[in-house]
Amino acid sequence: MKKDDCIFCRIANGEIGSNTVYEDEDFRVILDLNPGSKGHMLILPKEHFDDLFELSDEYAQKLMLVAKKVGLAARKALCADGINLVQNNGEAAGQTVKHFHMHVIPRYEGDDKGMVNWTPHDSDPEEQKRIEEAIRKQL
Ligand code: AMP
Ligand code: ZN
C-alpha cells in the first residue's frame, strides 16, 4: 500500500518529479537530491515499507537484481571504479526517510573513503562466541 503522507511513496509513484534513471512495475530508481558522489542513486519500492524488516519477500528478491542492473549502468556511464550498496534501518543506523530505500553509490579512485566506513575494533573470541550463539538462537 502507498501512503499519501510519505514523500518517497509520492516520488516512487510519479506524483512528485525526480531524476528517474530506471523504472519497472515495482521500483523507481532516482538520483539522490544531495548525492554523496556523482551518480548516487536510491532504489525505491512503489509500495510503502518502513524498512527492511517490513519489506515483502517478493520485493526483497527483486531488489538485488535492480541494484545490479543500475549499478552496472552507472559504472559504465560514469566510469565509476566501484559501487557501494548501503541500506539504513532505524534512526540509530542513519535512516532519515521512513520508506525503505537502498543507496547505490558509485565510487571513484581517491574519493572520500570516510563516506562509507567504520572504525575496526579488536574482537574478543569469547564475546564473539556469545554473540554468534545469541543471533543463531533467533533464526
Ligand atoms: P537515509 O539517510 O538512508 O534515510 O537516506 C535518505 C536519502 O534520501 C538521503 O541521501 C537524502 O539526500 C535523500 N533524499 C531525501 N529527500 C529526497 C528527495 N526529495 N529526492 C531525492 N532524494 C532525497
Ligand atoms: Zn512510502
pLDDT, tens digit, for every residue of 95-112? 999 999 999 999 999 998
Instruction: Tell me how far apart the alpha carbons of residues 86 and 105 are, in angstroms, rounded to a whole number.
Output: 8
Smallest CA separation from ligand 1 atom 18, residue: 33
Residue 139 scores a pLDDT above 90:
yes
Does residue 119 have its Cβ closer than 6 Å to ligand 1?
no
Query: Residue 95's pLDDT is what?
Result: 97
pLDDT at res. 112: 84
Model confidence at 3: pLDDT above 90? no
Give dist(CA 49, CA 53) in Å, integer.
8
| Catalytic-role residue among 40, 48, 99, 101 | 101
Instruction: Kindly give the number of the ligand 1 atom that is closest to the alpha carbon of 34.
Output: 12
**CB 40, CB 105: distance < 8 Å:** yes
Ligand 1 centroid to residue 88 C-alpha, Å: 11
Whole-prediction pTM: 0.96
Contacts of range 82-90, beta carbons closer than 8 Å, 24 or more positions apart? 82/106, 82/107, 82/108, 83/107, 84/115, 84/116, 86/116, 87/52, 89/51, 89/52, 89/53, 90/51
CA of 10 from ligand 2 middle (Å) equals 7
Closest ligand to the CA of 54 = 2
Question: Active site includes 101?
Answer: yes
Query: Looking at the CA of 10, which ligand is closest?
Result: 2
Residue owning the nearest CA to atom 20 of ligand 1:
33
Question: Residue 1 pLDDT > 90, yes or no?
Answer: no
How many angstroms separate the alpha carbon of residue 32 from the centre of ligand 1? Answer: 6
